[in-house]
Structure 1
Amino acid sequence: MLDSHIIVNLVYLVAAVMFIFGLKMLAHPRTAVRGNMISSIAMLIAVVVTAYLVFADGNATWAGWLLIGIGLTIGGAIGVFLAVKVEMTQMPQLVALFNGLGGGASVFVASAELLGLTDAEATPDVMLAIGISGLIGTVTFWGSLVAFGKLQEIDLFEKPLPIPAPQAFNAVLGVVLLVLVAIMATTGMGWPFLLIILCATALGFTLVMPIGGADMPVVIALLNSYSGLAAAATGFVIDNNVLIISGSLVGASGIILTQIMCKAMNRSLVNVLFGTMQPGGGPAGSDDELYATVRSTSADDVAMILDNAQRVVFVPGYGLAVAQAQHAVRDLANLLQEKGVAVEYAIHPVAGRMPGHMNVLLAEADVPYDQLQEMDDINPTLGQVDVAIVIGANDVVNPLANTDPNSPIAGMPIIEVGKARTVIVIKRSLSPGFAKIPNPLFAAENTLMFFSDGKKAVLDIVTAVKEL
């Protein structure tokens, strides 16, 4: 008869393979839903088998099973509630919270294991894993809460830190944390763990607080990687193979995504973390002077412009998510295609407030994936576009990135909509984007501003096009 640990590890292997296939399927919108389902089933299998292992080892008590049941019930209920109630505009905040909860869970598991260790079990590798899990998990938890606050635009998290040299302070904290982890690993003593938690809490705040709002997609991807690394370290702590594998997958994919985001912004990860974006650096003169030549338009005028267009490109941004205008945009695109107009969507890698935000929104509206064009693919052909319709995007189309070396977004690749023959910008007002800087595109000669709620504006355009 097979030992229960052999059975568990074989099932863990199956779950790990399902994680890998699920992650692979997430790379394409057509298979993403199925991949997410496969990964969810794999996690359910891992949880059930872990509970079986506790029972098989004879470590289960009625109180233990009660706590497990309560945890599963409460966690499942919260998960269902969030899945049903959270709007797409709040998805970046939710992802930030998930990252934080993953890091926090790793800290609790490592703490519980530390409390239950005997002197013989406190080997250097176990103590090293506990220290690393506590460090990364705590930084992830508090850093994610700060990211949540920034995404939610809570004033407290928008204020500068009262620290004269935050970079030097972070460097000192980092060295102190490494020394504490080394003490744990070499001496087998557990007292440094509390200091690790306290110092890592401070580092979680000071590391993320100075980072500008426009960098949040990068920060979310990085914190996601941190949560995976914390989980992998915790897997070594409790000798759980599936946790090691799944944590490593999350950690590696998060790092890869972070690098992709940094490349899209033409910045290094070091620059994002330590050379923070700060407001300022706009064009010379006041905003009133900059926007003196702004021209507004109406739904009827836009419909007439579209009636003569052969190629139209939509450029979605966070404002589209706020207005929940993706379905209205799809309807307008379908109407234009019926008239023989070529329709595409220009997707900036950091549009919105988390990686892939616009892709998810448009997929929700059943926009054909082959109509979505990445920034590098669409930019060379924007000169042949008759009409570019910008809906809620701001910083990712701001020409200051190319023209003002002192701008907070200097050097960031943008979608060069200004090359199109006509640019229609749908926006409530001339207010700045997340980077807090003005946008000269709004006053360009070939730009027309349609001041309205994104969804209402597109629906009005749809009505006007039908009436032509």
Structure 2
Amino acid sequence: MNSLVGILYIVAFALFIYGLMGLTGPRTAVRGNWIAAAGMAIAVVATLLLPGMGNWWLIALGIGLGALVGVPAARKVKMTAMPQMVALFNGVGGGAVALIAWVEFRTTDAYAHEPRYVAIASLFAAIVGSVSFWGSNIAFGKLQELIPGRSVSLGRLQQPLNALLLLAAVACAVVIAAGGDSELLIIILLLAAAAFGVMVVLPIGGADMPVVISLLNALTGLSAAAMGLALDNTALIVAGMIVGASGSILTNLMAKAMNRSIPAIVAGGFGGTTVSAGAGKAEERPVRRTSAADTAIQMAYAGRVVVVPGYGMAVAQAQHAVREMADLLEAKGITVSYAIHPVAGRMPGHMNVLLAEADVPYDQLKEMDESNSEFPQTDVALVIGANDVTNPAAETDPGSPIYGMPILKVNTSRSVIVLKRSMSSGFAGIDNDLFYDARTSMLFGDAKSSVGEIVEELKSL
């Protein structure tokens, strides 16, 4: 039986990796997801075949409840709420690991007869899993607007308190690993780690949420891998390390895209503020307004149009209207592409997911560097709700909180049209100098309605 389990695990790991390879593009992503899911199903079956596995009714009940909650939630979630769902589901994984660590503490008499590495791995998993669970719940609350999306901190006391909470959790782990057997120690450890997770994510504003979600995902993977080491479960180790490694790489790439270090992001205090360097400029500087009809005419006589999607497109669910608009432009012989900033939206790849849902061809999605090289040859750049990632202040204003962040240089296009509800600031809470550029025109209104009006005007031309 152990040999069979080993063979099934190897098959599952191969499917994990092959499925992950399929996630590199929208054409193969669905197939890759099914392949990886098949691998996980095989890994679960293999685990259930291990000698000594029991409580079959309890296992069946857990699987049934998980499916009853997870399947409808995943099927019914709107694309605008996808970041919240990702944060919530990721947190559940970390919470499960923390609870398993607690169970292991109890069933092994505080690791009394276990090797030291088992205790260390289990306690590490307990701390990281608890941090991930509670941090992910705070991220969910911010994205769902159940709690303020802005930075919420205790000022100068924030970092000392965080350090104290982490120290308390680690101290409890050290005492337990050294032979402490009081259950109060593991409870304090979990509570201190929970409070640490909450206090770390609360000060982080909306502008950093994509990086935070990716980081918490990596932490969940690492906690699962550590728990797999403690339980001697190969499937948990491999799956956890795949999630941890890929999440860590993605977090680092996104942090670089914002020109910020991961420690600076974790320190919080950026994004979602209401007072900014550019406050009040909206009333002091004039902006040029345009209409759907003028926008349609301008694009109809263009040679190249670049669409720059942002969270405003996600909120309005305008991706299908944007695809229809692009089809009409292409029918007129106009080249259309999409400039994607790595941190546009509220989760990694948010814009890619939305545009893929609208069946936008993958080869039309251009990364930031490629788009920036094309903007000078672009006749019209259509910005749909992308605020901070198009703000020239990142390059021109050393006093701006986003100074140094790589941006989409739409201001180098021959003409810029910004679709936006109002002159309100983005996640970073600062005024966008692009709005006042001589090449920029503002089309105010809901993005979906505005694009729909442009579509009707294009049809009449």
TM-score, structure 1 as length reference: 0.94
Q: Is the 8 A contact 1:228 1:250 kept in 2?
A: yes
Is residue 148 of structure 2 the alignment partner of residue 153 of structure 1? Answer: no
1:266-277 equivalences in 2 (<5 Å): 266-274=259-267, 276-277=269-270
Please name the residue that 1:187 is paired with: 179
CA distance in 2, matches of 1:391, 1:449: 11
Contact 1:122 1:188 in 2 (8 A): no
Which one of the candidate residues 91, 107, 115 is aligned to 2:98? 107
Query: Which residue matches 2:22?
Result: 25
- How far off is 1:108 after superposition? 1.2
Map of 2:375 onto structure 1: 382
**Deviation at residue 120 of structure 1 after TM alignment:** 5.0
1:90-105 aligned at under 5 Å gives the runs: 90-105=81-96
Counterpart AA for 2:78: E
Question: Which whole-Å CA distance do the structure 2 matches of 1:202 and 1:241 have between them?
Answer: 31
Residue identity in the other structure for 1:140:
S
User: What 5-or-longer segments of structure 1 have no aligned partner?
Assistant: none
Report the Cα distance in structure 1 between the residues aligned to 2:362 and 2:148, rounded to whole angstroms: 39
Q: 2:199 aligns with which of 195, 206, 214?
A: 206
Q: Report deviation, 1:240.
A: 0.7
Query: Matches of 1:396 and 1:274 in 2, distance apart?
Result: 21
Q: Deviations over 1:135-167 (max 9, x none)?
A: 000000111111111112234564623464211
CA distance in structure 2 between the aligned counterparts of 1:418 and 1:250, rounded to whole angstroms: 38
CA displacement, residues 199-256 of structure 1 (integer Å, 9 cap, x when unaligned): 1011101111111210000000000000001111111122110011000100000000
Number of residue pairs matched by the alignment: 457
Provide the C-alpha distance between the structure 1 equivalents of 2:123 and 2:279, rounded to a whole number of angstroms. 51
For residue 41 of structure 2, the aligned residue among 22, 28, 44 is: 44
**Which residue matches 2:7?**
10
The DSSP-based 3-state class of the residue aligned with 1:406 is: coil
Match of 2:31 in 1: 34
Matches within 5 A, 1:188-267: 189=181, 191=183, 192-267=185-260
Question: C-alpha displacement at 1:275, in angstroms?
Answer: 5.4
**Which letter does structure 2 place at the counterpart of 1:160?**
V
Q: What is aligned with 2:159?
A: 167
Counterpart Cα distance in 2 of 1:385 and 1:164? 47
Partners of 1:124 and 1:188 within 8 A in 2: no
1:78 equivalenced with 2:78 (yes/no): no
2:62 equivalent to 1:65: no
Output one character per residue of 1:45-72: Cα deviation in whole Å (capped at 9) or x when no partner: 122222232xx43x42xxx222211111
Determine which of 407, 431, 435 is the counterpart of 1:438: 431
Amino acid at match of 2:66: G
Contact 1:425 1:447 in 2 (8 A): yes
- CA, structure 1 residues 352+156, in 2 after alignment: closer, same or farther (shift >3 Å)? closer
After superposition, the C-alpha distances for 1:344-386 in whole angstroms (9 at most, x for unaligned) are: 1000000000000001111111111111110111112211110
SS of the residue 1:366 aligns to = coil
Structure 2 unaligned segments of length 5 or more: list them: none
Q: Which amino acid aligns with 1:18?
A: L
1:410 is aligned, of 392, 395, 403, to 403
Q: Identity of counterpart residues, as a percentage?
A: 52
Q: Secondary structure at the match of 1:165?
A: helix
CA shift at 1:180, angstroms?
2.6
Q: Within 2, Cα distance between the matches of 1:195 and 1:266?
A: 37
SS at match of 1:450: strand
Question: TM-score scaled to structure 2, two decimals?
Answer: 0.95
Cα distance in 2 for partners of 1:298, 1:29 equals 34
The amino acid of 2:422's aligned partner reads S
Looking at structure 2, the residues matched to 138 and 243 of structure 1 have their Cα atoms a distance apart, in angstroms, of 17
CA distance in 2, matches of 1:313, 1:225: 33
Cα distance, 1:287 vs structure 2? 2.6
Q: Which AA in structure 1 matches 2:126?
A: G
Match of 2:333 among 322, 340, 354: 340
Given candidates 348, 351, 355, the residue that maps to 1:358 is: 351
Deviation at residue 43 of structure 1 after TM alignment: 1.1
In structure 2, C-alpha distance between the alignment counterparts of 1:364 and 1:156, rounded to whole Å: 29
Whole-angstrom distance in 1 between the partners of 2:75 and 2:310: 23
Q: Which residue of 2 aligns with 1:122?
A: 114
The alignment partner of 2:178 has SS state of helix
Aligned mate of 1:422, from 415, 422, 432: 415
Contact 1:127 / 1:188 at 8 angstroms: preserved in 2?
no
- Checking the alignment, whether the CA contact within 8 Å between 1:123 and 1:185 is kept in structure 2 is no
SS of match in other structure, 2:398: coil
1:179 deviation in Å?
A: 3.0
